[in-house]
């Protein structure tokens, strides 16, 4: 008996995107299953961030489709996508600098009506990143770069996402902090069933946690393979 293929959480089909009349993404196809990490890698300017922004609704698609949880969300707004379970963390440290760590995390769960669910999410964040509980009353702007990155991830977790999109979470961080953040991402997938679309230049760390890898060059996907197949390569220069 042939088992039916599972429905992906996210399907990107022939996506075309850019800025104004300048197209930088051409016919991109991506597929993310539930509880899976898909990494999108490529050189700077390859179109990775543009792809992420278009999926999330920050940029209008020039063509193609974005299907999330079985529904066409190609023209959905960021707000609609957040309410349906998407979260996006950009490479910049996306925190509210004038607010405390505690207030930042509470804002992340603003649309979560259940107090019990909010408390559960907060406990989850604190378990992953204990420093955020220790610094609960500290202004976010005074945290270190790594702590701000942890807080931005905590904000996303508080929103209870089903799909978490991350743009270079290791950018500018010390190796020990990068390791902690990547381990936290993998735990979210394994324990909470979250799906992740990850943009990352740190290939070594990315391959420790990813399930599949897509390689982007000049706005197009040129290769897709498992993380195991990617790890077996002697080098990656031919991909870039």
Strand pairing report for 86-89 and 71-72: unpaired
Q: What is the pLDDT of residue 7?
A: 87
3-state helix, strand and coil shares in percent for the chain, rounded to the nearest 5: 40, 25, 35
Helix (H) or strand (E) holding 14: strand 10-19
Q: What is the pLDDT of residue 171?
A: 84
- How crowded is the C-beta side of 24, counted as CA atoms within 13 Å? 17
* Residue the block writes with tokens 């378990």: 127
Q: What is the pLDDT of residue 147?
A: 92
Structure tokens at 112: 């979560």
**CA gap 151, 136 in Å, rounded:** 10
**CA gap 193, 207 in Å, rounded:** 19
Q: What is the pLDDT of residues 21-63, one digit of tens each?
A: 999 999 999 999 999 999 999 998 999 999 999 999 999 999 9
Give, as one character, the DSSP assignment of residue 100.
B
User: In 94-106, which positions are buried (b, 16+ CB within 10 angstroms) versus exposed (e)?
Assistant: bbbeeebbbebbb
Structural domains in the chain?
1-85+196-240 (3.40.50.300)
DSSP string across 132-144? HHHTTTSBGGGS-
C-beta of residue 152 within 8 angstroms of C-beta of residue 176: no
* Residue the block writes with tokens 């381990």: 183
Q: What is the pLDDT of residue 156?
A: 87
Q: What is the pLDDT of residue 3?
A: 38
Q: What is the pLDDT of residue 164?
A: 96
**CA gap 46, 24 in Å, rounded:** 8
Q: What is the pLDDT of residue 174?
A: 87
Residue 31: beta bridge partners? 11
Q: What is the 3-state secondary structure (H, E, C) of 194-221?
A: CEEEEECCCHHHHHHHCCEEEEEECCEE
Nearest to 17 by CA among 4, 30, 6: 30
Q: What is the pLDDT of residue 5?
A: 56
Stretches in the chain below the pLDDT threshold 50: 1-4
């Amino acid at each position: 008996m042939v088992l039916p293929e599972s429905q992906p959480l996210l399907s990107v089909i022939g996506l075309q995107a850019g800025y104004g009349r300048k197209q930088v993404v051409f016919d991109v196809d991506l597929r993310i299953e539930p509880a899976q990490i898909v990494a999108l890698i490529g050189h700077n300017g390859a179109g990775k961030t543009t792809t992420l922004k278009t999926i999330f609704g920050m940029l209008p698609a020039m063509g193609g489709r974005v299907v999330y949880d079985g529904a066409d969300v190609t023209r959905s707004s960021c707000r609609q996508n957040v309410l349906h379970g998407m979260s996006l963390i950009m490479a910049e440290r996306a925190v509210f600098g004038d607010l405390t760590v505690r207030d930042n995390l509470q804002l992340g769960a603003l649309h979560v009506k259940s107090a019990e669910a909010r408390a559960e999410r907060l406990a989850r964040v604190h378990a992953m990143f204990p420093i955020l509980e220790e610094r609960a009353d500290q202004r976010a702007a005074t945290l270190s770069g790594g702590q701000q990155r942890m807080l931005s991830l905590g904000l996303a977790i508080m929103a209870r996402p089903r799909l978490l999109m991350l743009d270079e979470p290791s950018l500018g961080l010390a190796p020990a902090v990068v390791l902690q953040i990547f381990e936290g991402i993998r735990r979210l997938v394994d324990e909470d069933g979250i799906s992740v679309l990850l943009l990352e230049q740190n290939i070594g760390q990315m391959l420790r946690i990813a399930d599949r890898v897509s390689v982007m060059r000049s706005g197009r996907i040129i290769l897709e393979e498992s993380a195991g197949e990617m790890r077996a390569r002697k080098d990656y220069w031919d991909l870039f």
